[in-house]
Structure 1
Amino acid sequence: MKLFRYVGYFFILILIYSFFLEPFSIKKSNLNIDIPEFESNIKIIHITDLHMYKYIFFHDKILNIIREEKPDIILYTGDSIIKNTDKDDLKKFFEELSKIAPVYVVYGNWDYYNLEMVNEVYNQKNIHIINNNTISIYFDDFSLKLIGLPIYKKIEYIDTTPASYTIALEHIPDTIFYNKEIFDQANLILAGHTHGGQVYIPFLTKYFIKKYSFYLRGKVNFNENKIMYINRGLGAWFNIRFLAPPEILIITLN
């Protein structure tokens, strides 16, 4: 009888942790990339899957961490909204984010439920929508190409201009495999969508997520010059996370 009681307490503690602690924690991950003959550093923040309903203390926490890092640019790979997102609160977050550094965004699948609102929120001076598009940023003689992939289809225009380094932004990890030409030229592929499993039970979570995304979370090495990183994201469905805490990725090009 005591054993059942202790098991019950254990599951209650897990539920408290999963609903009230882990969803509001933030883990910083680092990805350091060495580039031969590059004499400076570029710091890039990658975030994804905000899924905001209302602006709360958690969003201040996100912004403060990003401010402390002093990035050169911020890359965001979609899913800003959920059902009944407060537009003014969402706009407040992106206004503050865009004050830190230029923000480059692509759409997530949830964004299409109210794309008009999402575009209105993104319509700010320092926010650049690169969905289905390509942009090049220059740091002296170093050219950084950003390619924004649309969801589950080929990009309409492929920019083959040579660049010092190329990053492909996508929401769903598997999208890159619909775009072989982009895969071939990309050095780094950034994605979100999976929430790192959100409730992560080793082996089991990966099995169930596989039909939505072949890769679940973290760094995938295709070869020494090509990396994919699947960010666990910031928001969550039903505000629950277990062994998949919200993530901010800090990329340094050395």
Structure 2
Amino acid sequence: MRVFLSLLGTGTLVFIYAAFIEIEWLEITTHRLAWDGLQQPIKILHVSDLHFRKVERRLDRTILAAMASLKPDLIVITGDSLDKRSSATSVRDFFSQLKAPLGVWVVPGNWDYWSEMKTQGDNRLPGVLDGLSNIKLLQNEAVPIAENLWLVGMDDEIAGQPDQAKGWSKVPSAAGVIGLLHAPEGVRHFTDPRARLLLAGHTHGGQVRLPFFGPLWLPPGSGSFVQGWYDLRQGTRLYVNRGIGNSLWDIRFLCRPEIAVFELDP
């Protein structure tokens, strides 16, 4: 009986930590990279998998405060901003407060298609973001950000219609590219050697990770990618963000929500 009570007590403490503490415990990771051809350093703030709910979370305010203090030049959001039952009001309120000199750029994820929000079209994001001039949606599209720096944003690998030819069609031959995608398996659309940095989300880092075992489950579209850095080939690296929100269960264990900051140096 004593052993049972001890295990029960330990399990209760772990659940309380996972459901109420770590789930709100934001981690900011910082990464520095050399980028030839830039005229000045650029700070990029990468957020993913916000999974907005009907009610504002305390974490949402923490994220906004962190973003303001970091003063990024560029903000990128790699999909799943919406959830099954997101509130358009909360989403628009959050996004309306995002500002960066080089823009705020968003690509869609699977839940941006699957959300039950009532908007026109399969992808719910355009309807939600309509009228927010500070937010730009990239869907199989490329845009110049600075000299020798382009963004290529791809539609979602699972629910969307990614089009590599369309997405890359405007990119100059000598440009360096940051690729934005949601599910990491979408790296197949970034085989072009101009792709130097790929930013993804979707996996939530596993969300619940056990010591010596790793994640209990990863969503389809994750492939062999979980979190952090992956060298895909010479000159091309992928970073998989652990994301902010949660799916299936509102818990996180050994997998804190993350904002990633990338400092590009000339």
Q: TM-score scaled to structure 2, two decimals?
A: 0.86
Letter aligned with residue 120 of structure 1? G
What's the CA shift for 1:111?
0.3
CA distance in 2, matches of 1:196, 1:24: 15
Letter aligned with residue 185 of structure 1? R
Conserved in 1, the CA contact under 8 Å of 2:206 and 2:216? no
- How large is the Cα RMSD of the aligned pairs? 2.2
Shift of the 37–193 alpha-carbon distance from structure 1 to 2, 3 Å rule, reads closer
Conserved in 2, the CA contact under 8 Å of 1:49 and 1:79? yes
Q: Paired residue for 2:185?
A: 174
Query: What runs of 5+ residues in structure 1 fail to find an aligned partner?
Result: none
What's the CA shift for 1:210?
7.9
Larger mean CA deviation between 79-88 and 7-16 belongs to 79-88
Query: What runs of 5+ residues in structure 2 fail to find an aligned partner?
Result: none
Find 1:120's aligned residue among 101, 118, 127. 127
Aligned positions of 1:39-188 closer than 5 A: 40-53=40-53, 54-98=55-99, 102-114=103-115, 116=120, 117-123=124-130, 124-138=132-146, 142-152=147-157, 153-157=162-166, 158-159=168-169, 160-177=171-188, 179-182=189-192, 184-188=193-197
CA distance in 1, matches of 2:127, 2:220: 33
Q: TM-score scaled to structure 1, two decimals?
A: 0.90
Conserved in 2, the CA contact under 8 Å of 1:42 and 1:72? yes
CA distance in 2, matches of 1:146, 1:34: 17
| Cα shift readout 1:169-222 (whole Å, capped 9, x = no counterpart) | 000001112x2544x321000000000000112564457438541201111123
Q: Secondary structure at 2:148's aligned position in 1?
A: strand
CA distance in 1, matches of 2:179, 2:221: 20
Q: Paired residue for 1:6?
A: 6
CA distance in 1, matches of 2:232, 2:12: 41
Letter aligned with residue 83 of structure 1? K
CA distance in 1, matches of 2:46, 2:100: 16
Identity %: 31
Q: Paired residue for 2:198?
A: 189
Q: Secondary structure at 2:139's aligned position in 1?
A: coil
- Greater share of residues in helix: 1
Letter aligned with residue 194 of structure 2? Q
What's the CA shift for 1:37?
5.8
Larger mean CA deviation between 204-213 and 233-242 belongs to 204-213
